[in-house]
């Protein structure tokens, strides 16, 4: 997808310098990937404590060795 955006020049230069990425496009894509990853992790953290575990780990472990 093609788009035109205005980006803080100092921020872009620092991102390119620190990352070693060869182009602005790659720096923007890396930043977007990182943002998506962080947002997904944040959504998962919101689920913490919301799910109830009802299985028996001891039984599961014993059954997994029964086939050996």
* 1 within domain boundaries: no
* 2 within domain boundaries: no
* 16 within domain boundaries: yes
pTM for the whole thing? 0.69
Q: Which domain holds residue 39?
A: 9-66
Please identify every stretch of the chain with a pLDDT value under 50, giving residue numbers as ranges: none
* 4 within domain boundaries: no
* 3 within domain boundaries: no
Count of structural domains, the chain: 1
* 37 within domain boundaries: yes
| Distance separating alpha carbons of residues 47 and 64, to the nearest angstrom | 28
The pLDDT, as a whole number, for residue 31 is: 98
* Torsion of the alpha carbons at 7, 24, 26 and 32, rounded to the nearest 10: 0
* Torsion of the alpha carbons at 30, 34, 37 and 42, rounded to the nearest 10: -160
The pLDDT, as a whole number, for residue 67 is: 63
């Amino acid at each position: 997808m093609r788009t035109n955006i205005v980006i803080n020049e100092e921020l872009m230069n620092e991102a390119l310098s620190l990352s070693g990425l060869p182009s602005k496009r790659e720096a923007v894509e890396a930043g977007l990937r990182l943002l998506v990853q962080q947002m997904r992790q944040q959504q998962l953290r919101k689920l913490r404590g919301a799910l109830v575990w009802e299985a028996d780990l001891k039984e599961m472990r014993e059954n997994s060795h029964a086939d050996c």
